[in-house]
Amino acid sequence: MTEKQKTFAFVVYPGLTALDLVGPLQVLSGLAEADPAFRVVVVGETLDPIDTDSPLRIAPSHTFDAVPDPYAILVPGGAALTLQALANRTLIGYLARAAESAELVTSVCTGSLLLGEAGLLNGREATTHWMFRDLLRAFGATPVAKRWVEDGPVITAAGVSAGIDLALHLVERLAGAETARAVQFGIEYDPQPPLGPLDWANAPHEAMAPLREHILRDGLAGHPELVAKLLART
């Protein structure tokens, strides 16, 4: 690393959703290739590979201690194990400390809940996966139903694939539209889902309610204080 490089720290922990991490990591790696003023690293509590919520395992490139003051952090989300990570004081402590000097604090999906637990969402607008958006109120945030929400230095993205949109927005903000467009072409990001765009007015809240309850029950098992905190305002 050169003295003037700006470091994006992608934060990993057991059970995260791989695409939450890998999508924006690929985009911002494109920025680092185009502009040596930036670099990307993947930080974890140790350098040991961690499990994700798929068969893929991820090995951090650096420890938390090795990257104490990144220019930006990005926190991916997940399901039950992300809720479990709310009680991981090492992880939450790193987010709180890194955010003190970071110019950008970002998240994808339920990674925003971890930002909230680190005290970084109070009084801010934020978003997350639609199934858990209401839980943001527990951290003093105002939930917003948007693809990504920017409030000061904090930018939160909605579920999973929204992380790619967030990352392209960051590239445009930091390096301009021409570079962002080049990165978009590089990854051929031109979403045309086979079932068409989502109609958010018809999101399957009722059908997904049992899954949400299962995730909450599993993720918060053994942590009644977190249950009380998260569900107090829902």
Does 79 have pLDDT greater than 90?
yes
**Is 25 within the bounds of a domain?**
yes
Q: Which residues are catalytic?
A: 109
pLDDT confidence of residue 232: 81
Whichever domain contains 197, its CATH number is 3.40.50.880
**Is 1 within the bounds of a domain?**
no
- Residue 72: φ, ψ to 5°: -150, 150
**Is 221 within the bounds of a domain?**
yes
**Is 70 within the bounds of a domain?**
yes
**Is 61 within the bounds of a domain?**
yes
Query: What would the pLDDT profile of 151-180 be if each residue is shown by its tens digit?
Result: 999 999 999 999 999 999 999 999 999 999
Give the mean model confidence (pLDDT) for residues 131-141.
97
With vertex at residue 163, the alpha carbon angle to CA 162 and CA 167, rounded to the nearest 5 degrees, is: 120
**Is 217 within the bounds of a domain?**
yes
pLDDT confidence of residue 211: 95
pLDDT confidence of residue 164: 98
Domain that holds residue 214: 6-231
**Is 166 within the bounds of a domain?**
yes
**Is 76 within the bounds of a domain?**
yes
Does 234 have pLDDT greater than 90?
no
Per the structure, the count of domains in the chain is 1
